Structure 1
């Protein structure tokens, strides 16, 4: 493989580390191939997650709350986009 250092940019194979302050790409690392969650070593060996992996993990994250025998649940979407769940105890 070839490594190229050009100013504040380093390219090693297909991976590019960009330290250049062009207003858009400062401090980015691109060309990474670990973009899925199906590697059996994912989150066990100290590597950083890629944006693609974070997006997949966030999309798979779910919370469900249901009415119970003596409870009711109401939900409200808050200004920042998260859902607030209020669990109420029935009086009967």
Structure 2
């Protein structure tokens, strides 16, 4: 789809859901930026704000400021299509 970062994925190295989504995105050629919330303390605040105080990953934040928590590949593709408009 694109090799530029289309969104930021907040993640942890041990998150199985994150690994699965990364694999699916890579296979589809969808670009994204990774932020490990265990390595970037300020990222924890972003994730908690989006998830009602919880540190739930993967959390994806898009250029329009919207977010998705543990989305399916289809949900990500739909959001990217919406943003491409």
Calculate the TM-score normalised by the size of structure 1: 0.18
More helix by share: 2
Structure whose CA Rg is larger: 1
Calculate the TM-score normalised by the size of structure 2: 0.19
